[in-house]
């Protein structure tokens, strides 16, 4: 694949969804694009601000925080899966509050099995300390 073809394909891919540099590199590599061409295309896309991993990482982090359904561990794993850096200058939400709201919404106020609640919160990426605090375990 030549430079022009790889550049056009990259723009089509970015038109569907914002991609990280690593995700786009993998997609181009899967299409048998030479490494030198990939490097040139990515350099041009960065220069034109079509690729900005820091900005994308902040946007993805804020998206999951706004949803109010996930803990920090889950969000960090999603960022890593997309080959994005974890923002260091991000504001952290109160995970206890988010977890308690999830418990009330999913299980109600009484009668739910604590083990089931713990598994649910763990799957959603809440830290063990948060889960223990929410369930008042020692």
What pLDDT is stored for residue 87 in this prediction? 84
Q: What is the dihedral of CA 110, 115, 121, 125, to 10 degrees?
A: 170
Cα-flanking dihedrals φ and ψ of residue 108, to 5°?
A: 80, -165
What is the C-alpha to C-alpha distance for residues 41 and 7, in angstroms, rounded to an integer? 6
Residue 16 has pLDDT above 70, yes or no: yes
| Residue-wise pLDDT tens digits, 18-65 | 999 999 999 999 999 999 999 999 999 999 999 999 999 999 999 999
Residue 138: count of CB within 10 angstroms of its CB: 3
57: which residues sit within 8 A by CB, 6+ positions away? 20, 79, 84, 85, 86, 87
| Residue-wise pLDDT tens digits, 77-118 | 999 999 999 888 777 778 899 999 999 998 887 778 889 999
Domains of the chain plus CATH, in order, are 3-51 (1.10.10), 95-135 (1.10.10)
Using alpha carbons only, give the angle 56, 57, 63 rounded to the nearest 5 degrees.
85
Q: How confident is the model at residue 137 (pLDDT cuts 50, 70, 90)?
A: low
C-alpha torsion sign, points 115, 119, 121, 122: positive
> What's the mean pLDDT in 120-135?
92
Whole-number mean pLDDT of the chain?
90
- Of 64, 60, 27, which Cα lies nearest the Cα of 45? 27
C-alpha pair distances (Å), 73 with each of 33, 41, 131:
34, 33, 13
Residue 138 has pLDDT above 60, yes or no: no
């Amino acid at each position: 694949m030549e430079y022009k073809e790889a550049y056009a394909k990259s723009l089509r891919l970015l038109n569907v969804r914002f991609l990280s540099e690593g995700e786009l590199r993998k997609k181009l590599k899967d299409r048998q694009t030479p490494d030198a061409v990939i490097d040139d295309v990515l350099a041009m896309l960065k220069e034109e601000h079509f690729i900005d991993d820091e900005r994308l990482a902040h946007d993805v982090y804020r998206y999951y925080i706004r949803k109010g359904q996930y803990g920090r561990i889950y969000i960090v794993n999603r960022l890593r899966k997309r080959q994005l850096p974890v923002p260091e200058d991000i504001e952290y939400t109160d995970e206890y509050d988010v977890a308690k709201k999830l418990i009330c919404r999913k299980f109600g106020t009484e009668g739910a099995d604590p083990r089931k609640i713990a598994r649910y919160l763990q799957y959603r990426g809440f830290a063990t300390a948060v889960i223990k605090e929410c369930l008042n375990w020692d």
